[in-house]
Structure 1
């Protein structure tokens, strides 16, 4: 039962807990999935709209596009159900807040520069993942970015996303035909204040359109207002200002913003796509550099601290998140499998078996295998650069998906690196690590070869699900009442 005493709709075995938000054609619910003992979000077509109606096209398109994506900075789609009576997506549940809430509470200049750059880099990382698969979001705005209590940044609402280099998809949801909506933020065509000029004109859009929208979001985080607003909102529409007026220079409204960050924002806001950054990856690199030069420690703390500052998050919750990330960062990725062994060792010592454990550690069984170390003595590092991107495995263990800035700590000697991309042959490279030195592995994946060589498809165990596995986080397409379905 809802708070109003009405029954929630039924969605298979899912048990609806509460309503999170209502849009023009859909409603988002928080729900329990008893079979897996987890919380999910359900984004459902309104019961007054038939799944066979053209009004349902956006929801189905969103499901199909999300099904192709699997990234820590994009909400994960668990399932899509379409019957003659219902249509709904089952999404990961994001326990947190929208970026719009943070901006609203913080006001002008109250979001730390490092936090702005970090959140921007995370958004750009998710966009880069989508762009690599030919998907343009077309509706990047603060209410479509969720910030979890764990310090994660998630892009949501791919309802008007489209394939890159294709004409704008037919929009059956013309404004005059839309069902009543609680907010203009549920505009089916996108939100004019965040649109690129080419999107406003109905021209072809590509990755650079999302880069423009991201520039508007960054500008708003830094100044509390949008770049094309000059106080004449009553006389001229947002789309008209965006097409004709230059952006107010960031330095005019935020004179203390460092030049490096100002350059990223203002170049992203160029009117002509050719004058912007060509890819979201370029934005990631520049924003990461800005944060790296100014911050030490877990980056998630930047976001959780910002949420505490505006009283969206309690200090105790932020402290728990920070501690978890500190412990995680101190544990080199390749050694995670040893945690269980470490716990067993601790119990043995506690039981009085320290001497026996010491003997086990020095015994030579003649196998020639080296004992893995949690922190290798005289360790070196490996930096991996892959064009366009790949999942990285070292000695059979998955590390991350490029691009990632932090070098991989490795013990001296020879290691074997495997690079996996779904549209390229798998690459295997030996690398030799010298004590105290950083080696570079720079590889270009051959995206043209796989189609001609079926045997070259990636075959590394577990690689097929690695991208989806990386999207752990447990949260949903909309945990905030303000999130726009």
Structure 2
């Protein structure tokens, strides 16, 4: 294109703010609507001898992300505005998220867990997003701290549906391979993803449990250096109860996290939004008890009662 910083004469790329296996993300300006947006760009590389006319698998994956994300309209999911192709460049235009992802937040805190109320609030909002995707039969498959953004106003957004799939299209016989490690991140993968079992929206609930465990304790459930040891832990081992790493953790929050981390998908709670809301309510500061005077006829001094 004539101007590499301009797409279709409309989207002005201002600053690169992210990069991954599926392209680069730019802070940009929509010149027509005069608003800030984020633009994800991807230009496929082809090896020598590849047919330039043949479909590229990563292009198909990028297009699938655009279609799936555009169909998800929810307060806690990143909004997709536009999608297209320009001079061989695929682009996806999304709302600009003024905030930070939870991975950045965890790095800054250097192992210090979040306050109870913040963990419960994040749990409630992410679970609401997952309720929405579950109702539409969509599995995110790569829910992790870097794919969850908390905005400056406290709103939490789930983003990056790059490997999301309709549950009906996921092959239950697909086994995890070294190449397949990209299809999910070891610290946040469900047992059924690892073992090649049926992967459905309950798999995302397990990943949410992993994220909450890390937010609440400062460490993921199976904090090993070897990725394969992490995978075996998720598949076969019980996580250490969070209260052993953080004794002041509310019992309700610990139970919610451990229930989400159930090895059997049927045992994972579908009422996570309500349970997180109840924990959040109990985490809020309570008023001190009102002390009132009680007088008994014939008694000398009044006494106080709470």
TM-score range, shorter chain: 0.7 to 0.9
**What is the match of residue 287 of structure 1?**
276
**1:76-475 aligned within 5 A:** 76-82=79-85, 85-168=88-171, 188-229=182-223, 232-234=224-226, 236-277=228-269, 279=270, 282-295=271-284
**What is the match of residue 290 of structure 2?**
none
Greater relative contact order structure (CA < 8 Å, 6+ sep): 1
Question: Over aligned residue pairs, what C-alpha RMSD do you find?
Answer: 2.5
Contact in 2 for aligned 1:162/1:169 (Cα 8 Å): no
Long gaps (5+) in structure 1: 1-6, 179-186, 298-485
SS in 1 for 2:7: coil
- Counterpart-to-counterpart distance in 2, 1:58 and 1:217: 25
TM-score by length of 1: 0.53
Q: Quickly say closer, same or farther: Cα 1:198–1:102, change in 2 above 3 A.
A: same
1:29-76 C-alpha deviation (Å, 9 max, x unpaired): 111001111011111113536793112122111101012111110000
SS in 2 for 1:291: helix
TM-score by length of 2: 0.83
Long gaps (5+) in structure 2: 47-51, 287-306
Contact in 2 for aligned 1:20/1:29 (Cα 8 Å): yes
**What is the match of residue 480 of structure 1?**
none
Contact in 2 for aligned 1:116/1:218 (Cα 8 Å): yes
How big is the shift at 1:273?
0.7
Aligned residues: 275
Contact in 2 for aligned 1:16/1:31 (Cα 8 Å): yes
Select between 102-111 and 261-270 the one with higher mean Cα deviation.
102-111
Q: Quickly say closer, same or farther: Cα 1:92–1:250, change in 2 above 3 A.
A: same
1:66-98 C-alpha deviation (Å, 9 max, x unpaired): 121111100000011035712111010101111
SS in 1 for 2:220: coil
Q: Quickly say closer, same or farther: Cα 1:9–1:202, change in 2 above 3 A.
A: farther
- Counterpart-to-counterpart distance in 2, 1:261 and 1:117: 7
Contact in 1 for aligned 2:44/2:56 (Cα 8 Å): no
SS in 1 for 2:244: helix
**What is the match of residue 30 of structure 1?**
27
- Counterpart-to-counterpart distance in 2, 1:110 and 1:54: 39
